[in-house]
Structure 1
């Protein structure tokens, strides 16, 4: 009995730590977005943007440009219009993954809409030194924000569903690395400022955590209602 009680206390301690970390990430991401918005639009400080552009110049060459263009594709509109629905379709064949498929669909779509709304609110033009022709506005970066929400959700799904600790760590590492490279590729290609990318990451992950929290609440509500009806 004593051993079971100790295990319960340990489990509650881990859950409390997980919740605390989640709230810390949630508010840190919101503060990051607000800080970037303040830096760009109120302080009009371009030091970070200039420093990252100058750093990218030190290793700009044809080969790296081809690599960065390829990496950038993995959060492009063309990619995100096709891949999330395909993942949803794949998940629909597995009973335990169907709810995650719905989350992918809703969060990807809602983050895209939110990103477009915010771009029209802030109306920051893209850098004039862009290496690619890109239409639309610059703040916050859609690649960082929508990609952050999508790949962040994939990381969450891996964490919740992959039983092997080794494979879980490998997949999370690969997804995290890809997400970071996507953001840097936008700076390297000069289609976004560094502040655009950081703001996109902050708001994308903030929206992801908020959406998961709301959908988990709905999941519990309708699951309990179904059990009562049954």
Structure 2
């Protein structure tokens, strides 16, 4: 297991919600699919077509698995601690079937991402003065004046002559969210390609979709 301290999905969701971010489950899945945070499985089983099953305990989950989890709409199952089954191709040499059990998140990498892409710090908790009818001190959340939202300052603009761009660049160029971009890639509207573990989108398909040039 990595030196990164693993935490259960419930704790990871809590850390995201403390930043006043909505859709914590979707954000966690998107972060993992983008390779921004490390995630682990108590047991990860991979079964290639026509081959034996390879089982690894305390395995790091690759971003490609999270892309498939999102595409198969199994994020809620993954974050509830159940076993996620990802069906593979029936063709020899195709995408293998994967079964993931007991997902956890790296607290260190998650906090780093939240600190980098959020404007504000986590919600603080202030003590409430006990009332005459209360014999205990209650805690209530203090809401910051500025919401925590992802920033685009680290996303590079699309350069002239670029053939492909990252998902983050596509989001910035179109103004669309990650969920919509994923949907457009799945239905073929946006053409994606792989460069190692990175998912890239062709600029031509983006320009065809938005109807304008996005290369500066």
Normalised to the residue count of structure 1, the TM-score between the two structures is 0.23
Larger proportion of strand? 2
Q: Which structure ranks higher in relative contact order (CA pairs < 8 Å, sequence separation ≥ 6)?
A: 1
Larger proportion of helix? 1
Normalised to the residue count of structure 2, the TM-score between the two structures is 0.24
